[in-house]
Amino acid sequence: EVSCVCAMMSRHAMKVQTICWLRSLYWIIISTATPANAMNLRSSTLQNDRILSWEELDGRPLPQWYDQSKFGIFLHWGVFSVPALCSEWFGTYWRDHWGPCPYIGQLMNETERPSFSYQEFARRFQAELFNATEWSLAFAKAGAQYVVLTSKHHDGYCMWDSRDSVPTTWHWNVMDVGPRRDLLGELAEAVKNASSRQTGESIKFGVYHSLYEWFNPMYLQDRKNNFTTDHFVSMKT
């Protein structure tokens, strides 16, 4: 996905996109580390609020548990699961008329009213059958050693109560619209209390958090400016 997007961007745009992806990767590793290791990792990854070079990043060792894990599960789950078309990139494929699924536009025209927007899918995202304990037991039985959930994908929808921590996500999170449950919190607690059949040890839980947001007005303005500006990255980070 990264190479697909970057191929369409200018050099400056690729830099902006790379910063967002690095920050997302950073939060995946931070969230699965122990408290002590997380603090060390935070200080070693962001030195004086400076993004480290590729050489510095490559030189930092992986957490031992991650290097030794044989099987993990990465979950893409969110508003995009309602249409369940093509992939989690459905929102931009449909709105911006690109991607590997050219049938999306026609299908949406046939199944939704003309003024229907992607954001309206959130009201249909109810997660009424979701049972965190059942999920965690399935992961444990499969032998998973870690589980990562998309806490916020590129559509900007937050899978936890983000109203205080990310004010810009007002009315665009699980508590304001959709299931009205802290899905991330429920799953995190259940997974951490489950043990992998492969190792007999507790399953580690992490989150993927994307700063990149297709519908954010600041991002759209930067894109309109051919990424000669970077207001979105500067304001979000």
Contact 62, 33 (CB under 8 A): no
Digits of tens for pLDDT over the chain (237 positions)? 232 333 333 444 444 444 444 454 444 444 544 444 444 444 444 555 677 788 888 888 888 888 889 899 999 999 999 999 999 999 999 999 999 999 999 999 999 999 999 999 999 999 999 999 999 999 999 999 999 999 999 999 999 998 887 766 778 999 999 999 999 999 999 999 999 999 999 999 999 999 889 988 889 999 999 999 988 888 876
d(CA 127, CA 78): 9
d(CA 194, CA 176): 29
pLDDT at residue 10 in the model = 43
The pTM for the full model equals 0.76
Helix and strand element counts for the chain (H, E): 11, 5
Distances (CA, A) of 135 to 92, 97, 117, 188: 29, 35, 31, 11
pLDDT at residue 1 in the model = 28
Q: In 10 A of CB 236, how many CB atoms? A: 18
pLDDT at residue 65 in the model = 87
pLDDT at residue 11 in the model = 45
